[in-house]
Structure 1
Amino acid sequence: MNLEQKEWWNNFLADENAVILDVRTDDEFNSGKIPGALNIDIYKGQGFIYMLDELDKNKNYYVYCAAGGRSAQAFAVMNQLGFEKAYNLLGGMSEWSGPVE
């Protein structure tokens, strides 16, 4: 599901079963991330899929990237792998006005 920033963040804050997933590169991740985010680089190809497969599918994933394109792709892959609750941040970090670490 695609969500605007405010709804994405508010849902995350109210969700006790939430994980934030950053699918950008290591360099992008290290230059600033949403606090508490887990980083799995979508450009790792099959490695990305292997790492996703090790995640708990019962959790709710709040996914983002730089502008929303890669996270939309990650969201589609996650659905194929059986993740039922994943939320894509529209606009990604380029439009993010929330906390950054």
Structure 2
Amino acid sequence: MSILSNLFKRNTDTGAIKVLDREAYGKAIAGSKINLVDVRTAKEYSSGHIKGAKNIDLFQKEAFNKAFSKMDKEIPVYLYCQSSMRSQKAAKRLVKMGFVSVFDLKGGYRNWNH
């Protein structure tokens, strides 16, 4: 059982990633010091984004890594994309980079606007 629990834990542990609904996410980003990041493309970002969000495109891997490497890993990061698919990938990448608290907007920007 010990071996199975350890394997199971490693495979399902998302580290510090938490998915928040629109209401909880909105309250959280209005609060203390955070990093709010839109991981969509620049075109998507320019068509509308959450106020105060910085655009760091997940698909621009080198620029993505460089931008996040300059951030304090102890400050919570709030991510979103259009539907939560890219932001989940970004969240996993950030946990591997050593970020302590990563939050994702459930349903993405599409959910934010409705």
The residue correspondences of 1:1-101 to structure 2 (distance < 5 A) are: 1-14=18-31, 16-97=32-113
1:35-84: per-residue Cα shift (whole Å, max 9, x none)? Answer: 01011000002331222111121211110000000000110001001110
RMSD of aligned alpha carbons: 1.3
TM-score, L = length of structure 1: 0.89
Please give the alpha-carbon distance, in whole angstroms, between the structure 1 residues aligned to 2:60 and 2:113.
Answer: 28
Point out where structure 2 has 5 or more consecutive residues left out of the alignment. 1-17
Larger radius of gyration: 2
Contact 2:25 2:105 (C-alpha < 8 Å) held by counterparts: yes
Point out where structure 1 has 5 or more consecutive residues left out of the alignment. none
The secondary structure found in structure 2 opposite 1:43 is coil
Determine what percentage of the aligned residue pairs are the same residue: 30
TM-score, L = length of structure 2: 0.79
How many residues in Structure 1 have an aligned counterpart in Structure 2? 97
